[in-house]
Chain A
Amino acid sequence: MKRYASIFATFARACLVRDMTFRVNFLLECVTSIGWMSMNLAFYLLIFTFTPEIGLHTGWTREPFFAFVATGLIINSIVQALFMPSAEELTEMVRSGGLDGVLVQPLDAQFLLSMHRVDFSAFANGFIGIGLLAWAIVRMDATPTPLAWLLYPLLIVCGVAILYSLVIMLAAATILMGRNQSLYDFWFYLTNFSRYPAEIYAGPWGSPLRTLCTFVIPILLVVNVPARVIAMPLEGQAVGMVLAPMIAAAASLALSRVVFLAAISRYRSASS
């Protein structure tokens, strides 16, 4: 474990050196991503000029909702910074045969393929998310309990683990298919569902979607549970709610490992 941490630190250092080599590009990426995020926040502010709450009696008033958005920003920035760059590069590596060089190295291939690139500019949104969370919590009626503060980072880790598992399974599909340029698009469509409170998925169309995105592809547990824990008082159902992402994270990680190993064993390599 220590060795892997040390190798990851070396990867991160190399990526930082590379990012600093292309400073303007790095700054542009930060600015673009903060700009996009600011537009989203402005849009949400606009919504709250029309309604005091997202859904009747859901509890998602302005400040809790911004705590929700902040949680999403933090989780997504971690995934975007640590895992997405490597997963996106995998498509090209499979097509060009660059994966060969990874498979001969004495390291776990899944670790190497999912963490060898770090996009530091993606952390920019995470920092904004932390600021937004602080702003929302200070203005909320109820202050989070010590237990909520304890659970929040743990549930963030679970959310990241669920998203990471999805990324890895999509990347594994790249290995099996030889080419999967829609990886990022598919990822975007999937994670779109996690960007809003689960309560909006109601009615004849919403309920099945909520069931699907909670129990089959547990994308709704990623942001909803940590956001609810930090933004709303914990009630009777809290144990089940808190355990669900933990179980989902463990199951997702296990499944992604199986899928990844199966994909690697079927790797054909590219002609030289």
Chain B
Amino acid sequence: MHNSNDKRTCGDALGEPSLIAVTGLAKDYRVYDKPEGLLASVTGLFHRTSRLVEALKGVSLTVGRGEFVALLGPNGAGKTTFLKLLSGIITPTRGTARVLGHVPWERADDFRRRFALVMGQRNQLWWDLPAAESFRLHKEIYRIDTPRFERTRDELVDLLGVRPLLLQPVRELSLGERMKLELVAALLHEPEVLFLDEPTIGLDVVAQHTLHTFLSHVQTERQMTVVLTTHYMKDVAALCERVVVITHGDILYDGSLGDIVDRFTTHKIVTLDLDDTPSHERMAGFGFPYEIRGPQVILRIDRARIADVLPDILRSQSVRDVSVEDVPLEEIVAELFRSGESPATARFAEALP
């Protein structure tokens, strides 16, 4: 499950300066309430009620060169706001940030030439034109010289197998095909930092897998720093060594993906295929019988006891097949998200380094 690519380590750990350094970054929005009903709407023309929404509450974080970081969090947690601040699209209410040595919201051209942002729910290619036209425009905007442009375009296009799509109007392409071409466009100027906002949203498993392989390859080849927001744990498991969990505008967890599993799960899942159908009582002696369907049994067993219990099971039961797995990442992360909404947050906060 964990990516063992040793190149994806934190730049700080290698003594390199951080490519992204954020301190106390906060963004507040004033939201105006729209009252229901005609009379209330007319009254609202003269007097509006508003409230302050803290989209981000003072986030501090550093990301080193070559890191692939996943930002996880429930909807409305502040992930996309964070990416928009790092890309300079919006200005923060408080706090500081430096990306590639620049303050993002000053929008220096030198900064904007060195990063790219891909949003899974937004289309940045020209809708009515073939992608090849958008690429040509990109070449001019980013001042890419012709040999470099052609070399990079050909390499990316071949990696994703999208050459036959280059001359087809973007509006005629499927979502997966469009996303592949969006990625090609974003990487044409060889950015040092790539922000990905839910790039695999709505894609089928084949397209997701293609993007994983592509991103992993390009990131390793170019030593690119990537910050990814996603709701798909498959993206995280396939690509990211480091995970930052954000809930309600605050960082709840920042560490390795492996650590999440180690620290926030107390048990493992053992699936047994037996010769006969066991009783609930018979299995309860080994662990918690999560599901018994005929001869197939799923047990939740305490991690500390697994080394002792497993030989016991194999000795006392007629086992045809056995597998031992961690609790699915989705479950762990969902539990983490839930903990961010309740006093149990403290439990996780205490566990943090």
Q: Which of A10, A100, A101 has a CB less than 8 Å from the CB of B137?
A: A10
Task: Say whether B214 faces chain A, with CB atoms less than 8 Å apart.
Answer: no
Q: Which of B139-147, B259-267, B272-280, B301-309 contacts A (4 or more CB under 8 A)?
A: B139-147
Contact A106 B113 (CB under 8 A): yes
Contact A100 B141 (CB under 8 A): no
Q: Which of B15-23, B62-70, B118-126 contacts A (4 or more CB under 8 A)?
A: B118-126
Contact B198 A17 (CB under 8 A): no
Q: Interface residues of B toward A: which range?
A: 20 to 34
Contacts known (A7-B140, A14-B129, A17-B133); A104 close to B90, Cβ less than 8 A: no
Contact A21 B128 (CB under 8 A): yes
Contact A272 B122 (CB under 8 A): yes
Q: Which of B117, B121, B136, B169 has a CB less than 8 Å from the CB of A104?
A: B117
Tally A-B pairs: CB < 8 A.
Answer: 75
SS class, residues of chain A in contact with chain B:
helix
Report the bound CA distance from A104 to B191 in whole Å: 12
Interface string of A80-94 (1 = CB under 8 A from B): 000000000000000
Task: Say whether B192 faces chain A, with CB atoms less than 8 Å apart.
Answer: no
User: Nearest Cβ distance between residue B115 and chain A, in whole angstroms?
Assistant: 8
Interface string of A10-30 (1 = CB under 8 A from B): 110010011001100000000
Task: Say whether A268 faces chain B, with CB atoms less than 8 Å apart.
Answer: yes
Q: Which of B33-41, B81-89, B247-255 contacts A (4 or more CB under 8 A)?
A: B81-89
Interface string of B149-171 (1 = CB under 8 A from A): 00000000000000000000100
Interface string of A230-272 (1 = CB under 8 A from B): 0000000000000000000000000000000000010111011
Q: Which of A18, A109, A269 has a CB less than 8 Å from the CB of B90?
A: A269
Task: Say whether A6 faces chain B, with CB atoms less than 8 Å apart.
Answer: yes
Contacts known (A17-B133, A100-B84, A268-B90); A107 close to B141, Cβ less than 8 A: yes
Q: For residue B80, which residue of chain A has the nearest CB?
A: A272
Contact B107 A103 (CB under 8 A): yes
User: Nearest Cβ distance between residue A22 and chain B, in whole angstroms?
Assistant: 8
User: Nearest Cβ distance between residue B298 and chain A, in whole angstroms?
Assistant: 37
Contact B126 A14 (CB under 8 A): yes
Task: Say whether B197 faces chain A, with CB atoms less than 8 Å apart.
Answer: yes
Task: Say whether B318 faces chain A, with CB atoms less than 8 Å apart.
Answer: no
Contact A267 B89 (CB under 8 A): yes
Report the bound CA distance from A50 to B119 in whole Å: 62
Report the bound CA distance from A7 to B137 in whole Å: 7
Interface residues of B in 231-271 (CB under 8 A from A): none
Given the complex, which residues of A lie within 8 Å of B212, measured CB to CB? none
Q: Which of A18, A103, A106 has a CB less than 8 Å from the CB of B142?
A: A106
Given the complex, which residues of B lie within 8 Å of A96, measured CB to CB? 122
Report the bound CA distance from A100 to B142 in whole Å: 17
Interface residues of B in 286-323 (CB under 8 A from A): none
Q: Which of A17, A101, A265, A267 has a CB less than 8 Å from the CB of B129?
A: A17
Task: Say whether B109 faces chain A, with CB atoms less than 8 Å apart.
Answer: yes
Contact A269 B89 (CB under 8 A): yes
Report the bound CA distance from A10 to B134 in whole Å: 10
Report the bound CA distance from A54 to B124 in whole Å: 51
Contacts known (A7-B141, A21-B169, A272-B197); A100 close to B113, Cβ less than 8 A: no
Interface string of B80-118 (1 = CB under 8 A from A): 100010011111000000000000000101101101110
Give me 5 other A-B pairs in contact (C-beta within 8 A), A3-B140, A267-B90 excluded: A7-B141, A96-B122, A103-B107, A106-B112, A109-B107
Q: Which residues of A contact B (CB under 8 A)?
A: 3, 6-7, 10-11, 14, 17-18, 21-22, 96-98, 100-101, 103-107, 109, 265, 267-269, 271-272
Of the A-B pairs whose beta carbons lie under 8 Å apart in the complex, a sample of 26, sorted by A's number, is: A3-B140, A6-B140, A7-B140, A10-B140, A14-B129, A14-B133, A17-B129, A22-B128, A98-B122, A100-B89, A100-B117, A100-B122, A101-B117, A103-B88, A104-B115, A106-B141, A106-B142, A107-B109, A107-B141, A109-B107, A267-B89, A269-B84, A271-B80, A272-B122, A272-B197, A272-B198
